[in-house]
Structure formats: structure tokens, C-alpha cells
Copies of this chain bind each other. A is one copy, B any other.
């Protein structure tokens, strides 16, 4: 009987949508539950309290992103192709859309008061960094770490900018932008 996991997933998705729609963590459990088609009491029954619902929503988003990245990397052959695949996967529609990004932004706010949220975001950052370094090192040697820092920072910055201007910035242009930066960095290191 997978009713529990189904309800949980529905609530988590509703939470993400509600945060995205409202653009804020200042959403009520009742609104989330109503969006999921259940009562607020059920949300408490499954998650205990509001914060744990939020954290589950974060894990969900990060899991989606992680799966996307892993799949893209598995498909790519060679360091250069893997780097491009990694960057491309970071701006896939399922992640790089208004709802997900508005939620993403608010997870950074959540991380200001929730150590677990902070930990989760750090895991994301570290994984991105190590992925970049792994394929950068054979191409650029000692510079790899510094370059990864800059490329990773740029990716995060584009996420932030998308939160402000969804129009005028789509997945393709963002990908192209980061790829240019990568080319210049690799060129300079060669």
C-alpha cells in the first residue's frame, strides 16, 4: 500500500508549487494541503511540523537535480563532453523554471535558520564543485579548482538572476553563457 509515499509526494510537490507561486516561505500549511487536495491535519500527520515538510521539499528538488546530472554525465564521453553535459543539465527545464527557482531561492533563506537546510545546499555545492574539478583537472591541471570555483559561482549567479528576470534568460542562453566562460577559462589555462 503505497498510499503514504504517494500522499507525501503530493504534499511535497504542492509545497514547492505553493512556495513558487507565493515566492516566499510564508505559506500556510493549510494552503499547501488544500493544493494537494487533503486537510492540513494530514500534512502534520505525515511530516510532524512545517519545517520538516519544507526540508522534504528541498530534498525532492535536489534529488531531481541530482538525477538529471547523473543521467547527463552517464551519456557523455570524454572530459570536455562531460563538462558540457554537466552545465547543460544545470539549466534543464525541470530545474530552470520559475517555480523551481523561486523555491530554490527560498531554500537559501530557509538555510539561514535551519542547519539541515544549510547542509543540504552545501552538499549540492560540493557535488557540483567536485564534478567540475573531476573533468577540469585533466584539461587544466592545477588551475582546475580555481576554475571550478568561478564556473560554479557563475551558475549560481544565473539562477539568482533568473529569479529576478525569468524573461530574457532561458535555459539555452544560460547554458551558452556558462559554456563561453568555460571556453575562455580553459583557453587561458592551456
Chain A interfacial positions (CB closer than 8 Å to B): 22-26, 102, 105-106, 108-109, 111-113, 118, 121-122, 125, 146, 149-150, 152-161, 163-165, 177, 180-181, 183-185, 187-188
- Asked whether, in the complex, the Cβ of B150 is within 8 Å of the Cβ of A156, the reply is no
From B113, B153, B164, give the contact of A122 (CB < 8 A).
B164
Closest to A155 in B: B157
Selected from B25, B111, B150, the residue in CB contact (under 8 A) with A164 is B111
This chain: copies in complex: 2
Main secondary structure of the interface of A (DSSP, over half): helix
A93 to B176, CA, bound (A): 33
Please give the distance in Å from A39's CB to the nearest CB on chain B: 24
Query: Among the listed B106, B160, B181, which residue makes an inter-chain contact with A150, where contact means beta carbons less than 8 Å apart?
Result: B181
Which residue in chain B gives the minimum CB-CB distance to A117? B164
11 A–B contacts from the bound complex (CB under 8 Å): A23-B113, A24-B25, A105-B109, A108-B160, A122-B164, A125-B164, A150-B154, A150-B177, A150-B181, A153-B154, A160-B160
- Minimum CB distance partner of A24 in chain B: B109
A21–B118 Cα distance when bound, in Å, is 16
